[in-house]
Amino acid sequence: MMQSKWILCSCGRAQHDQPSPEQFGKCCHEKISPLLWRIPILVWSLSIMCWSLSQFWGPLELFPLYMTHWGLLLIAMEITLGIIVTLKAPTMRYNDATFGLPWYVKVYWLLYNVTIPVAFLITVFYWGILKSSGKIEKYAPNPVLDVMLHGGNSVVMLVELLCSAHPSRVLHIFQPLLFALAYLLFTVIYYFAGGQDPWGNHFIYPVIDWSRPQHTLVVVALTGLFLALMHLLVVAAAAARDALARKLRSTTGIYNDGFGEEP
């Protein structure tokens, strides 16, 4: 009897800490399907990707150099998997008695945790640092595309954040930071391998120039701190979203545990 009671209590805590798989395919407002915003975002991301490729300012093999394009690819991947999760939501269940989420839900949650703060970072970094440096006129041959790449990205991810039903958690802060670290290591390797940008410079961005390591490390450190702040703001926004959704419903709504277990 004691053992059975312990198992039931343990399962109850696991269920409380771990969101249900169905949450990832739902809107915080029960009567709205996530397909209403996820399909348009997918169309937007693929359209902007094609437009960016057609308007790229250098050889296409250099297209993957830029964080902006990494962020755009993240949006397309995250929203595609979000659509798949939405379509599978009615039949989703926990994988096992430990309440493990299906693998595709875990991957979606990981991409969600990375893509949203990175999109906000790209917008602020571009307009606040790169644009103000006065050294990037060549990076924006089309002003409308410029806004779509460095502003539209944050708008569509804000929609994803404010309309989704699953939680964001403080403990997942390492996920966007690891992504940023991967890009940082890429810039270091590219520099020491003798890589150049489309205009023959030995850097990808003028403010991340490893020939000036002290200046670059300061920029990198501040950028990392800002990305961490963006993640915390995402967690706060998700908590506020869920609190509002609960208030608008007479029954208990979505539980957003910012300190729960990892996906």
Q: What is the pLDDT of residue 15?
A: 45
Question: Looking up tokens 């250098």, which residue turns up?
Answer: 58
- Whether residue 18 is contained in a domain is answered as no
Pairwise CA distance, residues 136 & 150, whole Å: 13
3-state helix vs strand vs coil in the chain, percent to 5: 70, 0, 25
- Whether residue 127 is contained in a domain is answered as yes
- Whether residue 11 is contained in a domain is answered as no
Q: How many domains does the chain have?
A: 1
Mean pLDDT, range 170-178, rounded to an integer: 96
- Whether residue 86 is contained in a domain is answered as yes
Which amino acid makes up residue 208? I
Task: Please determine, for residue 133, whether its predicted confidence score (pLDDT) is greater than 90.
Answer: no
- Whether residue 56 is contained in a domain is answered as yes
- Whether residue 113 is contained in a domain is answered as yes
Domain residues for the domain of 136 are 24-248
Q: Is 141 helix (H, G, I), strand (E, B) or coil?
A: coil
For 122-128, which contacts have Cβ atoms below 8 Å and span 24 or more sequence positions?
122/67, 122/68, 122/71, 122/150, 122/153, 122/154, 123/150, 123/151, 123/153, 123/154, 124/226, 125/67, 125/223, 125/226, 126/68, 126/150, 127/151
Q: Which of 12, 8, 16 has its CA nearest to residue 256?
A: 16
- Whether residue 200 is contained in a domain is answered as yes
- Place 129 in a pLDDT band, splitting at 50, 70 and 90: confident
Pairwise CA distance, residues 86 & 102, whole Å: 13
In this prediction the pTM is: 0.85
pLDDT 10s digits, 191-216: 999 999 988 889 998 889 999 999 99
- Whether residue 2 is contained in a domain is answered as no
Q: What is the pLDDT of residue 253?
A: 45
Q: Which of 168, 184, 186 has its CA nearest to residue 234?
A: 168
